[in-house]
């Protein structure tokens, strides 16, 4: 994919999949007006909205953000996501992000699509992470992995925290 802004990438992906604005909005469970404003560049989407769009478009987050290290976004609850690296290997996209959490941050992430895996290592602080109905408490120096094909949570209940997450997406559309 070319070095396009989020608005242009979104429009290009939507049209390539043959979705109307209404159809993509329905599949992503977001308002059609919101989608139109994002595509026109009048609104900056948050991480939740980007992930909601990634699943029906069958792309990893970098399909929306671009693959330039340092690309970032802020989620509800204050979690900041910073892209560190992206690799495309045999039908899979491997994305590495640094996650920064202010004290009390809580982010509920929507499904990332079938078979998407996350592996998180906590660098500092303590996080509650994983599938929303079975979260794990992970301390600095510890790791946790889960399949993120359904809603999952990130929370920093005891103070600020930082982590690195590796997201593996298997898809026929990974080869952008």
For 112-168, how does the pLDDT look when each residue is reduced to its tens digit (9 = 90+)?
A: 878 899 999 999 999 999 998 899 999 999 999 999 888 899 999 999 999 999 999
Higher confidence at residue 96 or residue 64? 96
| Residues in a beta bridge with 164 | 98, 121
Place 4 in a pLDDT band, splitting at 50, 70 and 90.
low
Nearest partner of 48 among 176, 154, 160, 120, judged by Cα:
154
Domains of the chain: 6-58 (1.10.260.40), 72-170 (2.60.120.10)
16-24 contact pairs (CB < 8 A, 24+): 17/56, 17/57, 17/58, 19/56, 24/53, 24/56, 24/57
* Separation of alpha carbons 8 and 69, rounded Å: 19
Higher confidence at residue 58 or residue 13? 13
Phi, psi of 167 (to 5 degrees): -110, 125
pLDDT of residue 171: 63
Place 173 in a pLDDT band, splitting at 50, 70 and 90.
very low
pLDDT at 169 over 70: yes
* Average pLDDT value for residue range 60-76: 81
User: CB-based contacts of 165: which residues, under 8 Å, 6+ apart?
Assistant: 96, 97, 99, 118, 119, 120, 121
- Helices 21-28 and 47-57 cross at an angle (nearest 10°) of 110
- Count Cβ atoms below 10 Å from residue 70 Cβ, excluding itself: 7
């Amino acid at each position: 994919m070319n070095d396009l802004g989020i608005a242009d990438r979104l429009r290009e992906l939507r049209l390539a999949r043959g979705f109307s604005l209404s159809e993509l909005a329905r599949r992503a469970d977001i308002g059609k007006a919101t989608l139109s404003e994002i595509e026109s560049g009048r609104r900056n989407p948050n991480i939740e909205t980007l992930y909601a769009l990634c699943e029906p478009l069958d792309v990893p987050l970098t399909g929306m953000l671009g693959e330039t290290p340092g690309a970032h976004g802020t989620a509800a609850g204050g979690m900041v996501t910073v892209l560190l690296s992206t690799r495309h290997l045999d039908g899979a996209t491997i994305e590495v992000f640094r996650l920064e959490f202010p004290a009390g941050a809580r982010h509920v992430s929507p499904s990332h699509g079938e078979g998407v895996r996350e592996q998180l290592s906590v660098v500092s602080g303590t996080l509650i992470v994983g599938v929303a109905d079975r979260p794990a408490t992970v301390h600095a120096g510890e790791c946790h992995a889960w399949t993120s094909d359904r809603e999952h949570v990130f929370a920093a209940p005891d103070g600020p925290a930082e982590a690195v997450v590796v997201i593996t997406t298997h898809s026929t559309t990974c080869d952008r």
